[in-house]
A and B are shown apart, each in its own frame.
Chain A
Amino acid sequence: EIVLTQSPGTLSLSPGERATLSCRASQSVSSNYLAWFQQKPGQAPRLLIYGASGRAAGIPDRFSGSGSGTDFTLTISRLEPEDFAVYYCHQYGSSPWTFGQGTKVEVK
C-alpha cells in the first residue's frame, strides 16, 4: 500500500498569500496518478487536480499541481477567502487507492 504523507498539517496564511502544500508518497505513484481534493466543512470533496498537474473542469488557474514519482506539490498562487479549507492528496495508480491525511489551510 502506498502511504501518502502531507505537510504541513496546518498552514496559517492571509488572503492574497501563496500556499504551497506537499504530498510525499512511500513509493513511486504509477503514471503520476496523483490528485488533489478540496473539502469544506459539511461538504463532499471537490476534485482540483488530476494526473499530478491537470486542472479539473471549472477550477480557477490560481490552483496548480506539480511533481512526479514520490514528491508532489499543490500551489495556490493567491489565496481567496473561499480557498480556506482542508486539502487531500490521493493516489489512484495502485490498489488500494490511498489518501493523505490532509492539510488544513486556515486564516492567519
Chain B
Amino acid sequence: EVHLVESGGDLVEPGGSLRLSCAASGFIFSDFSMNWVRQAPGKGLEWVSYISSSSSTIYFADSVKGRFTISRDNAKNSLYLQMNSLRDEDTAVYYCARTGTVTPLSVFWGQGTLVTVSS
C-alpha cells in the first residue's frame, strides 16, 4: 500500500525558511515522479512543484519560482521542499503526491503538513 507522510510544517515569520519532508513507503520510490500541492485555509488546490524520478526534470509554479527548491533522496525514499523567503500567502497545508507510471498526475496523496507564515 502506498504511504506518504509529510513533516516539517511549522509557524514561521515572513521572510523565514522551512524544509518540508515526505517519507514514502509501499512502492519503489525511485520509479516515480513526485509533486507538491498546497491548499490555503478554506481555499482550493494549487500545484507547487514537480520532480521526475531521477531529478532530471523539475518544474515550479510561478508563485514560488526562485524561492522554493524541490529535491529527493531515492536511497532514503524521501522527497523534500525547501522554502525560502516565505510570505503570508504561502500559508497552507502542503501535500506530497506520487504520480502514475506515465503522466505527472498526482494519484496518491499524503495527509499534508501545515505551514503558517505569520509574525
Contacts and interface: CB of A to CB of B under 8 A. Distances in A.
B47 A96 contact: yes
Contact of B62 (A43, A45, A96, A101): A96
B44 A33 contact: no
B43 to A, nearest CB: 9
Interface stretch (A21-29, A65-73, A87-95): A87-95
Contacts of A98: 47
A76 interface: no
Contacts of A39: 45
Given A88-B44, A92-B105, A97 B110 contact: no
Given A44-B112, A50-B100, A99 B46 contact: yes
Interface residues of B, number: 21
Interface string A95-107: 1111111100000
A99 B110 contact: no
Contacts of A35: 105
A98 B50 CA distance: 12
Contacts of A19: none
A56 interface: yes
Contact of B107 (A56, A95, A99): A56
Contacts of B27: none
Given A33-B105, A92-B105, A97-B104, 14 more contacts: A37-B45, A44-B111, A44-B112, A45-B37, A45-B45, A45-B106, A45-B109, A50-B103, A92-B104, A92-B106, A95-B59, A96-B61, A99-B45, A102-B44
